[in-house]
Amino acid sequence: MKIIVVSHGSFAKGLLESAQMIIGKQENVVAFGLYPTDSTHTLRNLLEEEMKNSEDKEEFLFLTDLFHGSPFNVVVSLMKDYPIYHITGINLPLFIEIMNKRTLLKGEELCAEIMKSAKDSISDVKNYLKEVM
């Protein structure tokens, strides 16, 4: 499964860089950033091209930064034309889980797994330490 991360600015590239520092270089994953001078139309074309240049019959999981942001809206517009998966609000623990599980699971199962992990991927550490100590 190919992973395409899309965000405002450098969040997507930072996410990918930081993940690769932890789990090593990953194949079949790309990051796109939308900057203030970029048009959403150009971004849509770039994402479409990225899919067209990928292997036949490959599944695509798009990860975006923010519900209702412009990158999110561009990916939603692609969902009308392509059978792609899309998780928004991505963070580093879930991204790493996706990288680790994407060869084992099909898109629908992978998204379901990730949503099961979503809540626990974010912790209030002060409260956590109170509970365990």
For binding to a copy of itself (CB under 8 A), which residues are involved?
A: 7-15, 17-18, 21-22, 33, 35-36, 64-67, 69, 72, 75-76, 79, 85-94, 96, 111-112, 114-115, 118-119, 121-127, 129
Structure tokens at 68: 């209702």
| DSSP-derived 3-state class of residue 122 | coil
- Region for residue 68 given its phi and psi (left: phi exceeds 0; alpha: psi -120 to 50; beta: otherwise): left
Shortest Å, Cβ 114 to a copy of itself: 7
Q: Kindly tell me which of 39 and 67 has the beta carbon lying closer to a copy of itself.
A: 67
* 124 alpha carbon, distance to own chain's centre: 23
Shortest Å, Cβ 40 to a copy of itself: 14
Q: Kindly tell me which of 26 and 69 has the beta carbon lying closer to a copy of itself.
A: 69
Amino acid at 72: F
Shortest Å, Cβ 72 to a copy of itself: 8
CB atoms within 10 A of CB 124: 8
